[in-house]
Structure 1
Amino acid sequence: MGINTERDIEANLQIGPTDSGMVRLFIEASGGVEIPMDFEPEEAEEIAEEILAAAKAARGVGSKRKR
């Protein structure tokens, strides 16, 4: 199992600030699973950069498949 393993699980993702100055990623999956993950603002910015880098890399993979 890994990042490339497809799963048939539905989940919702919410992102927002907490009243304690953290950034929360809140994942709610089928079956009542709730995962709150809190990050310092600097950590959240690093995660955002990683997401942008992954999106850029995914675009490259997608364009290779279309050829």
Structure 2
Amino acid sequence: MGINSEQDIEANLQIGPTSLGMVRLFIEAKGVEIPMDFEPEEAEEIAEELCAAAAQARKLAK
């Protein structure tokens, strides 16, 4: 499975701060829960990567 491979899997994504000052991405799918904690600076880097990917996807969609 790669970034361009389509899958018929449903998952929920929750994003929020933890009580320890981390940013948590919490992914939940059928029978699977994945908590991923990041330092705030790491979370900002991820946000920048998401924005860059969204911009590239918009260009490809045109």
TM-score w.r.t. length of structure 2: 0.98
TM-score w.r.t. length of structure 1: 0.91
Alignment of 1:45 with 2:44, yes or no, is: yes
Aligned residues: 62
Q: Which runs of 5+ in 1 are unaligned?
A: none
- Whose Rg is larger? 1
Alignment of 1:19 with 2:3, yes or no, is: no
Q: Which runs of 5+ in 2 are unaligned?
A: none
Secondary structure at the aligned position of 2:16 is classed as strand
Q: Which residue of 2 aligns with 1:59?
A: 58
* Superposition CA RMSD, Å: 0.4
| TM-superposed deviation, 1:29 | 0.5
How high is the sequence identity, in percent, across the aligned residues?
A: 79
1:47 aligned partner, one-letter code: I
